[in-house]
Structure 1
């Protein structure tokens, strides 16, 4: 299940409510495209801005409209107590797996992070993906800590934030991590600009932001890499370099992807919770032109 393309859609919302119609449309779009799994309530899903009840509602909607596609649900929160409650909600709503990042306000130590995963896995009956995202959590996993956590019962995948650009260095990085985790634990790459390199280097999955909005584009890269067509996967990714550059320019993918969803009429505007805002003015016009050029809009 935690292999191939895992597509992470936006949770469109405004200050009053979640746009359930738009969210269901995104889920059905992913299911129809044939993605390998759907990841809701990750960073692109804006989990940190939602209440427990809202998160439970999102999970139920995703499971109800995903068809046969497994749904992975983010359960990250500041306190272990809240993580356990969110895990219970996700399981009760039919989640196939959960995704957990070491979310924090106070900096966490390695032992505190290990304790978080130990406590969570002890209560779970579905697989867990370890969510390594230093850009939002400001916690950096060592490979050794990943290895310790991967020994816990129920840990099924590790979502790493990226790989080196140089292919051989990327392969060495993935192979080193693989020596430290059990054979059944998959390694997935995130950071969309690095996805083709990571898949070619031996990653089992791509946890994809762009896949949550334009699944066919992400599937083409994923399937090429899975079939051993490394050069094709790289070429398809390099075609999107202008989009990847916008991700870097705007501090990550969220604002760009939310704006693209609005421009593509897949979400109403506004689609982000304040104080977050989508692109405006010339930046918005430039993205609209780019989406048309790439035949994504």
Structure 2
């Protein structure tokens, strides 16, 4: 089995306007994930707004999460930063606190070359000793990992997995087959992009890195379970029930929608870090209506 597999749930990191982590709100979110028995937690990903948090606040969020989980599931934590030396320090912090792996994106203001990204990732893996998950997130970073670069990185000691984006659902099967052919055995291949993730899991991906699972973990677990049991019909049936949320994710961004869901479900009241604004009232009412239309067992 791959190092990471199944459902990796990515919660928001509730904070106040000064960026201070809301420990109570974060623990409530993590408790829901534990109760649903997700396979891993993706802390401080893009949904967890890692890039907006200081090193101190990242340490606090990870410490609170690890304390709440008590070792029941692995925690993969975002260690991305603009500077390589800072990413190394963040990865060292994560290893010292007990994270299972670090999630590293090619974040930069100046566009990066493949060689620069290779050195960045290799240095973080080597100098931190923390297993690293390659985070290919071109919608945010504007850098796309080519097959050749992924193949190079997969040969670096300590780089153990990749979190791929999804675009066209009908292209996932071929993309996954190509990565299986070129990457080492045991290298975990996973996908984000919630509205296409059911097809990725049906195709045999190791991991679904899910935004929705960070707030509604149980229904996402049913999708993964059905896919792992080879029941494509049931996987697609559950996924179709979530179509109203997928539409809102695409229209407003999954980040803004899950902040609204956290409030509507009375888990915590938080706003995304400025300059990102919460959804305006009309959009939030649409999220509430979509939530109400979900089957009752999909609202947990």
TM-score normalized with structure 2 length = 0.95
CA distance in 2, matches of 1:165, 1:92: 38
Verify: 1:126 aligned to 2:127, yes or no: no
Verify: 1:202 aligned to 2:198, yes or no: no
Q: CA deviation at 1:170?
A: 2.2
Q: CA deviation at 1:124?
A: 3.2
Which residue pairs with 1:287 in the alignment?
Answer: 287
> Residues 269-288 of structure 1: matches in 2 within 5 Å?
270-288=270-288
Give the counterpart of 1:97 among 92, 95, 101. 101
- Alignment check: 8 A CA contact 1:163 1:189 kept: no
Which residue pairs with 1:37 in the alignment?
Answer: 40
Q: CA deviation at 1:97?
A: 1.0
User: What SS does structure 2 have at the residue aligned with 1:284?
Assistant: helix
Verify: 1:24 aligned to 2:27, yes or no: yes
Which residue pairs with 2:257 in the alignment?
Answer: 256
Gaps of 5+ in 1: none
Q: CA deviation at 1:14?
A: 2.1
- Alignment check: 8 A CA contact 1:124 1:154 kept: no
- Alignment check: 8 A CA contact 2:21 2:60 kept: no
- Alignment check: 8 A CA contact 1:144 1:180 kept: no
CA distance in 1, matches of 2:12, 2:22: 11
Q: CA deviation at 1:273?
A: 1.3
Dislocated runs of 4+, deviation >6 Å: none
State the superposition RMSD in angstroms: 1.2
Per-residue CA distance 1:208-239 (angstroms, 9 max, x = gap): 10001111011000111011011211111111
Q: CA deviation at 1:272?
A: 1.3
Number of positions where the alignment pairs a residue of Structure 1 with one of Structure 2: 293
User: What SS does structure 1 have at the residue aligned with 2:169?
Assistant: coil
CA distance in 2, matches of 1:143, 1:278: 36
- Alignment check: 8 A CA contact 1:163 1:173 kept: no
- Alignment check: 8 A CA contact 1:11 1:41 kept: yes
